[in-house]
């Protein structure tokens, strides 16, 4: 199966919330329950910040900029379509943009360990820029840090 990564159409953006909610529900089996509220993707109006796979989309990556680098705000694949390489394909599309940072759960198998197998390394807080530091503080204020989290980065390979 060829994973075509593309930007969504404006009409596809609202449907991505169902993917995020379904993916987030997987955390419940580990005792992680997110605070109620809108999903991250529901707050996005610019399809250029989003990469999707599938027609209709079954997974997405939401990107932004933090401290002048690409930041992966969210990566979600609907559980029905997990373990098919879709998340990796989305991640590689994002990593092709440059150095990438993200925040994630340290001990969730499909979070920090998954990213580490794909070339990400945990960043010590001394390596955070001011925007990344503010983002981590904001996540704590929102109640997202319901389990230990880490900041990770993958440097873009020379020549890619």
Q: 141-154, pLDDT tens digit by residue? A: 877 766 688 999 99
Choose between 92 and 30: higher pLDDT. Answer: 92
Interacting residues of 38 by C-beta distance below 8 A, sequence separation 6+: none
Per-residue pLDDT, 140: 82
Task: Tell me how many domains the chain contains.
Answer: 1
Closest to 49 measured CA to CA, from 38, 39, 62, 67: 62
Q: Is residue 145 a part of any domain in this protein?
A: yes
Closest to 19 measured CA to CA, from 94, 65, 82, 93: 82
pLDDT in tens, 120-136: 999 998 999 999 999 99
Q: Is residue 159 a part of any domain in this protein?
A: no
Give the domain range for residue 113. Answer: 5-154
**Does position 159 have pLDDT exceeding 50, yes or no?**
no
Per-residue pLDDT, 38: 63
For the ranges 26-30, 80-84, 98-102, the lowest mean pLDDT is seen at 26-30
Choose between 158 and 45: higher pLDDT. Answer: 45
Q: Measured between alpha carbons, how far is 77 from 60 in angstroms, rounded to an integer?
A: 6
Residue 146, domain CATH: 3.40.630.30
Query: Is 151 strand, coil or helix?
Result: strand
């Amino acid at each position: 199966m060829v994973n075509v990564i593309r930007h969504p159409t404006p009409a596809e953006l609202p449907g991505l919330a169902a993917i995020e909610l379904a993916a987030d529900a997987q955390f419940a089996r580990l005792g992680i329950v997110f605070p109620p509220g809108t999903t991250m993707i529901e707050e996005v109006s610019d399809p250029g910040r989003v990469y999707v796979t599938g027609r209709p989309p079954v997974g997405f990556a939401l990107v932004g900029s933090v401290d002048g680098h690409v930041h992966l705000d969210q990566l979600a694949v609907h559980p029905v379509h997990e373990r098919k390489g879709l998340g990796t394909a989305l991640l590689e599309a994002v990593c092709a943009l440059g150095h990438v940072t993200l925040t994630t759960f340290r001990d969730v198998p499909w979070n920090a360990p998954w990213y580490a197998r794909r070339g990400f390394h945990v960043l010590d807080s001394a390596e955070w820029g001011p925007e990344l530091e503010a983002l981590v503080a904001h996540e704590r204020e929102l109640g997202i840090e319901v389990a230990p989290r880490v900041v990770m980065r993958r440097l873009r390979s020379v020549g890619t």
